[in-house]
Amino acid sequence: MEHEHFGTRLGRRSFIGLGVGSLVTALTGLDAIAAPAPEKRGARAKRVLVIFEQGGLSHIDTWDPKPDAPLEHRSPFKPVGTKVPGMQFTELLSKTAKFADKLTVVRCMIQPTPGIGNSHPKGAQYIYTGEAPGGPVEMPDIGSVLASKLGTEALYLPSNIMVPGTSEMGHLTSVGFLPPGYTCFKTGGSPAKPDWRVPNLGLMAGIDEGRFKNRKDLLSSLDVGFVNVGGSKDAAAMQSLMGQAEDMLTNPLTRKAFDLESETPQMREKYGMGHRGQCYLLGRKLIEAGVRYVMVDSREPMDTFVDGKATRFDGGGNMNWDHHDAIYSKSHTNVPNGGAGAGRYGIATWPMMGSTDQALAALIEDMDQRGLLDDTLLCFVTEFGRTPKMNERQGRDHWTNAFSFAFAGAGVPGGQVVGSTDKEGGYITSSMAYTLEDYAATIYEKLGIDRSKPLHMPSGRPIYLAAKGKPIPELF
Amino acid sequence: MILISLMRNCLTILLAALGHASFGYAATPLQKPVVKTVPALLPALPKAERLEANVSEIKLESRRAYRQLVVTAYFNGAARDVTQSAIFRVADEKIASLQKGRVHPLNDGNTRLTISFGDKNLALPISVSHFAEAEPIRFKSETVAALTKNGCSAGSCHGSPHGKGGFSLSLFGYDPRIDKVSLVRDGFNRRLDIMQPEGSLMLKKPLLEVSHGGGKKLRKTDTAYRVFRDWIYEGANVDLPAVECEKVVIFPGAARVLKAPFLQQQMSVLAYFSDGSARDVSALAHYESSHPDVAEVDADGLIVGKARGQAAISVRYLNALQSLYVTVIEDVKGFQWNNPVEINWVDKLVNEKLKQLQYLPSGTCRDDEFLRRVYLDLTGLLPTAEKTREFLKISAPDKRAKLIDALLDSEEFARFQALKKADLMRVSPRKLKDGRAELFSKWLIERVRQNTPYNQWTHALLTASGDTKKAAPANYYLAIDDEKERAEMTSQIFMGSRIECARCHNHPFENWTMRDYYSITAVFARTKAEKGEIKAVNSGEVLLPTSGERMKPWGLTDEKTQAKTDRRALFADWLTKPDNPLFARVEVNRIWADLIGRGIVEAVDDFRSSNPPSNVPLLEALAAEFIKSGYDRKHIMRLICNSQTYQRTTQTNDFNVTDETLFSHARVRLLSAEQLRDALRLATRSLPDAETIEPSLQDYQKRAEKRRAELENDYKTWLPGAQNEVAQLPLRAGGWFLAGPFAHSDFEKAVETALAPEKFPIDLSARFENSGWQLRPDLEDNRKNNLSTDNNQVHYLGRRIYSAKAQTLEVQIDPDERGRLWLNGKEATKNPFNNGQKVKLELQPGDNDLLLKIVNGGGEANFSFRADETFKNNLNLPPHAVEILALPNDKRSEEQKNLLHEAYFEADKNLNSLNAQITQLENRSDYATQRLYPADSTFATAFGQPKRETACTCERTNSPTLLQALELLNGDMAQQAASSGADKYMKFDDQKLIEELYLSALARFPTAKEIGVAKSFLAKTPDRKTAVTDLIWTVTNTREFLFQH
């Protein structure tokens, strides 16, 4: 059942009939003719937490139930009601459904140019940067842009962190043309592992705090002959950066921000005692500590820890959401004569939606209770959806024509569904459709970044942020 | 001809600017700008000697023609603009009128204009004709120009790639056809209302009569308003293609000095069109100041000086751009020139500019500061403690000059300077594989070592062809295999010009147009890289994207020469001729920036008229000297290093503390990644003094020769034993033979389809597609072997396995990305396989033939073949040599004998390690500043060692970052250096230790205070190694160490 009244509005653009809102207007220039209503501005976010479920999460099995799809292609997972009357997810999101009143689900996400982002590397880069990959300029990630534009609230922590940055496409993050200091910091490893620590964030082996202090004391008495030489800004900058680095290395708060053991066992269990749950929890901790931009890309490792015990998901060598084969398998997807979907686990299993639903429900509730949703924008994203039709290997392939994102916090209305797709979930039927550029524009707008002011490349070329995008109005 | 006009423009600007620097003028008290309507109230202005106007007569030949007047008065020979304070009178006010210094026609006829300033008068005839004839607005030269003037088509507004608010214009009107479609056709024709022009959105939006995202951009009094309104009123006619604007000429030329009370300067702009006409376009040109804090310019082209300094005022009209360099002079309270030391003419030219703008240069640096600075600049390395002691002891007055000479002749100099060139030319083994990066680097080093005239080696580089494994400079083209990128890289390196903007639109702040861009691109369109060979071919064209026109290559002046000449040679001829406006200037500026820390033009690859040199005469003189010396780079470096300017201290005084651009004091600079890495290791004595490299190299070479002779002696006795041993082996494999690559277009099909080598039994003598089976001793078992970096290829690999009996051999194969395998003509797996495939080979007694097919889609092709210990032998020989040894003596070909002999030498561990040492010393691999190409490390990355992926020096980031601070405080590199340094320094007593450390790290003796602090630290720390490590760590973390000063 569709619920058109939740967000679908027939606006002045609907007569175009193509339903690709901002994109079409950009091409035809209708905005220039009919004076638009001023864009709502709601710069309420101070931080962003992005849950990036990499691989292409099937929208019709999760956020956009399609009970009326033809039987042979229909998802086996039934629609369930949520806390908000009339708003439905599939049963794979039963736990999250209890917090639907905090969420806006956007069912009309689209990659506007077919092909540009229809692969995992390109799709992931698209998510990281909010720009179509392969353009003339290597763009910095949204997190790097935010770090450069807004700096940090917590000097002792990096301002752009990825938890843990181990998904298949984790290596594709980019600082682009920005200085290397804004590079994404990746925690690495698996926070669910009992002895997990962040490498390089703490003093190196063999140098304890006492010795480090001795060195710094000596340095402060020997680094004196060089003060104010030539009024050098660089020399002054180096000194203050050394101070910040020292803080990062020795401030107990740094360690605390990454220390999952400082959380109660109940809290850790609530998120789920596996890899994904602990990654989500770490994401919340870092946001709470004041990190500007945190991206969680929690692909379950094959050899992992659940409840502190070593566990192996046999045959699941790459448990992202790329379900080309046997999407409804109750274990791994390594089917005979299989294709590119081998090495995953079926979508309903614990390492997939089981852990995702629990962790996401816990995250929303926890952030809400801590008041973090007041000024944190929470985004749940994936590079694209999956085909409405099953392939011959009982899998679903990449689908960029329609997919779903979910948002919460920082003024995002709760209990809202934006946009709709046809009865198979294949194409967008609502008058509005939103692109990954719109997603990026939304983040910038929520953080109060003036996109009319460009970044500049070292060559002087001005670069406008999310130039082809517009903030998604229903999120403001 | 664009080429000629560019050269002419640049030259006139630079030369005229050179001329103005010698003006003398008297200081005059500050007065407020004069308003001409109330002359009676004015304070007395100085008396002018002479009055001049920018025109001698005024001819207005259509109803909309006008002429902007600029009036110049001379005081003690100095030209000053008095347009705003002069009085204008038209004798017959029915013929012409004056507004804002512009003469407009009123009726056909003749009259006279009188201009008065003080007691000086000028009279100019005015003639007006064709006033009654209609003169429709011209779309390109007026409407489109007005859109640019009012900022509509700027990059931040509708000229951005995606337009704004759905309305999109070509950036600064580079393509009027786009603008025509946007204005006339798009938006359901509602942007224009011909019935009621004032109701057109094109006017109402910028007037803010309806909402406009860009705010108010147009006033009804603007020239642009009248142009737009009249154009719509006349029917919005689009007369395309239009006559082209070929050039603009601005008055007052290239440079002016503004000094109170004359702080204003009016400009006038004359455009010359392709139909031979010329029109005053002062009202439609767009004016912009590079430094609005120094000089502002308004929409009418009136410049007002604001503060001491220099600015470029750029004038854009359609595709043409010209700049006027303005120097604004202000008296600084208490400033008094103190006739500082001048060692050579570099100082004279630097000081003239300082004196003019009233900055006082700093004094000369100390010997130890000079020593460390010049070592780092010329060789990239720190001076050793020993060198420092020696230099500080010398009292001869010419000791600095002698040191400069010695360093310029050193091998370290050649290496370090070549590294900087190699950075720009992207010399990296990632792209230049199989020894090519080394070869190209060595060629660059040799050019610096021999001090080959720079024009010659540039010419050789740009025209290089041949096998890139042999023809070193041809790797310039192998590094970049795209004609556009080659055009961009070449322009950036040798012309200091960033033309890449013009790939998609005319350059926003320079004269580079799309035509220029594609014309330079056409130079490289006939240079192809095929299988590692660079070839100049006879076909390949470049079309202009906007019109499809076939572009003539840049540098081509005579069509007839084109057919037979390599286009690159014509370009290289043009580039390296002495009259080239950019080549010599760009290179001397790069040298200057390297040594002084900032270019005269900054950034060094951003030469354009809107980015003025901070000292024009200095740049001109250096370029002239460079050309005169025969493009001798060392000569220019020697000149600069010997100047007082180079040898100034970093300490500033009250009169130069704000100077960043005029070289009044030395700059504090963070060491580069390579300098810092070597400095850390030299200061901690973890790296030997570079001067010891040559003697130890000779020593190793002697030992290797000796070992080789011994082995040669033993060969005859070794051979029978080895043969015997091989004969006993129960299982052995031969070397890999490779066939391919073969290109494919469909991955799955390529996996299925049998190509020529897929034939059984394998015929090693078969020929296919100009190639055959090749023995590849470099392909080894149990590791990843790279086959090719290209996409979509098929490779076949064949080898023979001998087994004494029937047995099963398990192997693991990783084919990147799909493989098939045949044993003795039978496919060994059910299906084609991916990485990680384990295969059980059922071997028959005797020889077994194995064929492996590797098909790749995207990315590089590689494979690995892993078998357990089974192929190992005690002889330490590779498979191909074992296979040869298994042959009877008389069945070995000469080639096989040679291969075996060579493999025998290579199997000797002793000789191997000697050879490895020799290579390491020859390539100076231990020294970041000296090696053939950069070694990646987190340390180097943090400190901005370039990835060598662009030709831009901006790949290096020079300002400090948090990552760097973390590397220094907590990084392995700093810690290991300190720790291994402790082992070397611990042998000294405290006094000596501290002294040696300071000499090595900072090239100076420690002060008494420093000795005191260090001694007490050493004394209070119980563990000696810890104490010394921490002291070294601390000294190498001081800013005095990290920075050059």
Residue A4 scores a pLDDT above 70: no
Are B620 and B571 spatial neighbours (Cβ–Cβ below 8 Å)?
no
Question: CA of B946: how far to CAs of A239, B135, B427, B726, in Å?
Answer: 24, 58, 11, 49
Most A CBs within 10 A among B668, B817, B1045, hence the mutation to make, goes to B668
Q: What is the pLDDT of residue B30?
A: 35
Residue with tokens 């037979």: B564
Q: What is the pLDDT of residue A231?
A: 62
Under an 8 A CB cutoff, do B1040 and A234 touch? no
Question: How many angstroms away from the CA of B166 is the closest CA of chain A?
Answer: 3
Q: What is the pLDDT of residue B376?
A: 98
Burial A113-149 (b: 16+ CB within 10 A, else e): eeebbbbbebbbbbbbbbbbbeeeebbbbbbbbbbbb
3-class secondary structure, B598: coil
Q: Which residues of chain A have a CB within 8 Å of the CB of B1013?
A: 218, 221-222
What whole-number distance in Å separates Cα of residue B1015 and Cα of residue B1006?
12
φ, ψ (nearest 5 deg) of residue A278: -75, -30
What whole-number distance in Å separates Cα of residue B308 and Cα of residue B219?
33
Under an 8 A CB cutoff, do B166 and A218 touch? no
Are B731 and B870 spatial neighbours (Cβ–Cβ below 8 Å)?
yes
Rg of chain B over CA atoms, in angstroms?
Answer: 37
3-class secondary structure, A55: coil
Percent of chain A with pLDDT over 90: 58
Per DSSP, the residues of A335-368 read -TT--TTTT-B-TTSIIIIIHHHHHHHHHHHHHH
Per DSSP, the residues of B485-547 read HHHHHHHHHHS----GGGGTS--TTSS--HHHHHHHHHHTTTEEEETTEEEE-S----B-TTT
Strand partners, B60: B128
Burial class of residue B336, CB neighbours in 10 A (0-12, 13-18, 19+) = exposed
Most A CBs within 10 A among B362, B660, B835, B1039, hence the mutation to make, goes to B1039
Residue A321, C-beta contacts closer than 8 angstroms, at least 6 positions apart: A53, A54, A55, A56, A57, A58, A344, A347, A352, A382
Residue B992 scores a pLDDT above 50: yes
**DSSP H or E stretch at residue B778:** none
Question: How many angstroms away from the CA of B812 is the closest CA of chain A?
Answer: 18
Q: Average per-residue pLDDT in chain B?
A: 88
**DSSP H or E stretch at residue B259:** strand B255-259
Residue B790 scores a pLDDT above 50: yes
3-class secondary structure, B808: strand
Separation of CA B547 from chain center: 30
Residue A91, C-beta contacts closer than 8 angstroms, at least 6 positions apart: A77, A78, A79, A80
Residue with tokens 């000296």: B930
Most confidently modeled range among A173-182, A376-385, B16-25, B829-838: A376-385
Strand order across the beta sheet in which B102-105 lies: B67-68, B102-105, B96-99
Beta carbon pairs, A and B, within 8 Å: 181
pLDDT, one tens digit per residue, over B352-408 is 999 999 999 999 999 999 999 999 999 999 999 999 999 999 999 999 999 999 999
Question: E-strand spans in A2-55?
Answer: 47-52
Under an 8 A CB cutoff, do B966 and A249 touch? yes
Cis bond leading into B817, ω under 30°?
Answer: yes
Say how many C-beta atoms besides its own lie within 10 A of residue B293's C-beta: 11
Q: What is the mean pLDDT of residues B989-1008?
A: 96
Nearest in space to B146 (alpha carbons), one of B305, B285, B37: B285
Of A35, A36, A249, the CB nearest to B970: A249
Under an 8 A CB cutoff, do B965 and A207 touch? no
Q: Which of residues 147-206 of A touch B (CB under 8 A)?
A: 179-181, 183, 200, 203-204, 206
Q: Which of A367-376, B485-494, B867-876, B986-995 has the lowest mean pLDDT?
A: B867-876
Most B CBs within 10 A among A122, A138, A220, A221, hence the mutation to make, goes to A221
Under an 8 A CB cutoff, do A32 and B166 touch? yes
Residue B45 is classified by DSSP as P
**B159 token code pair:** 């000229």
What whole-number distance in Å separates Cα of residue A344 and Cα of residue A351?
9
Question: How many angstroms away from the CA of A414 is the closest CA of chain B?
Answer: 30
pLDDT, one tens digit per residue, over A102-125 is 999 999 999 987 677 888 888 999
Per DSSP, the residues of B908-952 read -HHHHHHHHHHHHHHTTTT-TTTSSSPPP-HHHHHTT---S-SS-
Under an 8 A CB cutoff, do A458 and B652 touch? no
**DSSP H or E stretch at residue A255:** helix A252-258
Q: Which residues of chain B have a CB within 8 Å of the CB of A179?
A: 957, 959, 961
Q: What is the mean pLDDT of residues B756-764?
A: 88
What whole-number distance in Å separates Cα of residue B87 and Cα of residue B45?
14
Confidence of residue A67 (pLDDT cuts 50, 70, 90): very high
What whole-number distance in Å separates Cα of residue B625 and Cα of residue A327?
74
3-class secondary structure, A103: strand
Per DSSP, the residues of A394-444 read S---EE-S-EEEEEESTTPPSSEEE--B-TTS-SB-SS--B-HHHHHHHHH
Residue B4 scores a pLDDT above 60: no
Of A136, A204, A219, the CB nearest to B970: A204
**B427 token code pair:** 């010399």
Q: Which of A188-192, A350-354, B15-19 has the lowest mean pLDDT?
A: B15-19
Of B167, B650, B1013, the CB nearest to A221: B1013
φ, ψ (nearest 5 deg) of residue B478: -75, -30
Q: What is the pLDDT of residue A392?
A: 86
A456 Cβ under 8 Å from any chain B Cβ: no
End-to-end CA distance of chain A: 26
Q: What is the pLDDT of residue B951?
A: 61
Question: CA of A104: how far to CAs of A250, A343, A375, A447, in Å?
Answer: 40, 32, 16, 18
Nearest in space to B1020 (alpha carbons), one of A207, A204, A218: A218
Side chain identity at B933, as an amino acid letter? Y
A113 Cβ under 8 Å from any chain B Cβ: no
φ, ψ (nearest 5 deg) of residue B803: -130, 130
Under an 8 A CB cutoff, do A32 and B191 touch? yes
Are B888 and B894 spatial neighbours (Cβ–Cβ below 8 Å)?
no
Say how many C-beta atoms besides its own lie within 10 A of residue B554's C-beta: 24
Residue B365 is classified by DSSP as P
The secondary structure of chain A in percent helix, strand, coil, rounded to multiples of 5, reads 35, 15, 50
Burial B248-263 (b: 16+ CB within 10 A, else e): bbbbbbbbbbbbbbbb
pLDDT, one tens digit per residue, over B280-335 is 999 999 999 988 889 999 999 999 999 899 999 999 998 888 899 999 998 899 99
Are B700 and B921 spatial neighbours (Cβ–Cβ below 8 Å)?
yes
Confidence of residue B954 (pLDDT cuts 50, 70, 90): low
Determine the residue of chain A that is closest to B508 in CA distance. A461
Of A229, A452, A461, the CB nearest to B651: A229
Are B10 and B609 spatial neighbours (Cβ–Cβ below 8 Å)?
yes
Alpha helices in B684-734 (DSSP H): 693-728
Q: Which residues of chain A have a CB within 8 Å of the CB of B187?
A: 28-30, 32-33
**Predicted ipTM beyond 0.85:** no
Residue B242 is classified by DSSP as P
What whole-number distance in Å separates Cα of residue B883 and Cα of residue B732?
8
Q: What is the pLDDT of residue B945?
A: 83
What whole-number distance in Å separates Cα of residue B324 and Cα of residue B108?
35
Q: What is the mean pLDDT of residues B193-217?
A: 84
Q: What is the mean pLDDT of residues B989-1000?
A: 97
Residue with tokens 């790069």: B590
Q: What is the pLDDT of residue B168?
A: 84
Question: How many angstroms away from the CA of A354 is the closest CA of chain B?
Answer: 30
Under an 8 A CB cutoff, do B163 and A242 touch? no
Separation of CA B1 from chain center: 27
Residue A263, C-beta contacts closer than 8 angstroms, at least 6 positions apart: A281, A285
Phi-psi label, residue B372: left if phi above 0, alpha if psi -120 to 50, beta otherwise: alpha
What whole-number distance in Å separates Cα of residue B316 and Cα of residue B320?
6
**B929 token code pair:** 């500043």
End-to-end CA distance of chain B: 47
Q: What is the mean pLDDT of residues A254-266?
A: 92
Q: Which of A381-395, B219-233, B630-644 has the lowest mean pLDDT?
A: B219-233
Residue A439, C-beta contacts closer than 8 angstroms, at least 6 positions apart: A109, A130, A379, A381, A405, A469, A472
